[in-house]
Structure 1
Amino acid sequence: MKKNFLLIIIGCFLIISSGCTNPSTPAGHEGYVKENPRVWGKGGFRGAMKGPANYGVSLWRNEVENVDMRPQTYPESFKILTKDELNVSFRFQTIIKVKPGTIKTVVEEFAGKDFYQRYIKEPLRSMVRKNVQNLESREVKEKRKEISEAVLKEIKEYLKETPFIVISGVVGNIDYPDVVTKAVEKKLAAKQLLDEKATQKEIAKKDAEIRIEEARGIAEAQKIINSTLTKNYLQHEAINAQLKMASSPNHTTVYIPSGANGIPIVETIK
Structure 2
Amino acid sequence: MSMRSRGVAGLVLVVAVGLGLSSCGTIGSGNVGVRTTLGKINPEELEPGVYLGVPAISQVAEFSGKEIGVDLSDLTPKARDNLSLRDLDVTLYYRVATGQIADLTVKYAGQHVRDEGSRVTLPAHGLLSRLARNAIYEQAARIDSLVMHTQRDELASAVRRGLQAELDANDKGVFTITRVVIRALTTDPAIERTIQESVAAQKQLETTKQRVAIAEAEAQVEIKRAEGVARANQIINQSLTREYLQHESNLALMKFAEKGGATTVVIPANMQTAPLINIGK
Tell me the TM-score normalised to structure 2 length. 0.60
The residue identity in structure 2 corresponding to 1:25 is I
- How far has the Cα of 1:89 moved from its partner? 4.3
- Distance change (3 Å), C-alpha of 1:218 and 1:49: same
Is the Cα–Cα contact under 8 Å of residues 147 and 171 in structure 1 kept in the other structure? Answer: no
1:166 equivalent in structure 2: 176
Distance 2:22 2:267 in 1: 132
- How far has the Cα of 1:114 moved from its partner? 3.9
How far does the alpha carbon of each residue in 1:132-162 deviate from its partner, in whole angstroms, 9 at most, with x for none?
34753246466736565444433443xx148
2:166 equivalent in structure 1: 154
2:249 equivalent in structure 1: 231
- Distance change (3 Å), C-alpha of 1:109 and 1:179: same
SS of the residue corresponding to residue 192 of structure 1 reads helix
Residue 29, structure 1, aligned to residue 37, structure 2: no
Distance 1:74 1:103 in 2: 18
1:38 equivalent in structure 2: none
- Distance change (3 Å), C-alpha of 1:108 and 1:124: same
Distance 1:154 1:21 in 2: 40
Count of residue pairs brought into register by the alignment: 227
- Distance change (3 Å), C-alpha of 1:108 and 1:153: closer
- Distance change (3 Å), C-alpha of 1:192 and 1:148: farther
- How far has the Cα of 1:45 moved from its partner? 5.1
For residues 172-251 of structure 1, the aligned pairs below 5 Å read 172=182, 174-177=185-188, 178-223=192-237, 226-227=240-241, 228=244, 230-232=248-250
The residue identity in structure 2 corresponding to 1:28 is G
Moved more, 92-101 or 180-189: 92-101
1:54 equivalent in structure 2: 50
- How far has the Cα of 1:176 moved from its partner? 3.5
- Distance change (3 Å), C-alpha of 1:191 and 1:180: same
1:120 equivalent in structure 2: 128
- How far has the Cα of 1:121 moved from its partner? 1.1
- How far has the Cα of 1:205 moved from its partner? 3.0
1:101 equivalent in structure 2: 99
**Match for 1:79 among 73, 76, 81?**
76
The residue identity in structure 2 corresponding to 1:137 is S
Is the Cα–Cα contact under 8 Å of residues 35 and 41 in structure 2 kept in the other structure? Answer: yes
Moved more, 169-178 or 98-107: 169-178
2:256 equivalent in structure 1: 259
- How far has the Cα of 1:18 moved from its partner? 6.4
Where do 5+ consecutive residues of structure 1 fail to align? 1-12, 36-41, 237-257
Moved more, 117-126 or 162-171: 162-171
SS of the residue corresponding to residue 76 of structure 1 reads strand
Is the Cα–Cα contact under 8 Å of residues 102 and 163 in structure 1 kept in the other structure? Answer: no
The residue identity in structure 1 corresponding to 2:131 is P
The residue identity in structure 2 corresponding to 1:104 is A
Tell me the TM-score normalised to structure 1 length. 0.62
Is the Cα–Cα contact under 8 Å of residues 96 and 167 in structure 1 kept in the other structure? Answer: yes
Is the Cα–Cα contact under 8 Å of residues 23 and 33 in structure 1 kept in the other structure? Answer: no
2:61 equivalent in structure 1: 65
Distance 1:73 1:54 in 2: 27
Moved more, 186-195 or 144-153: 144-153
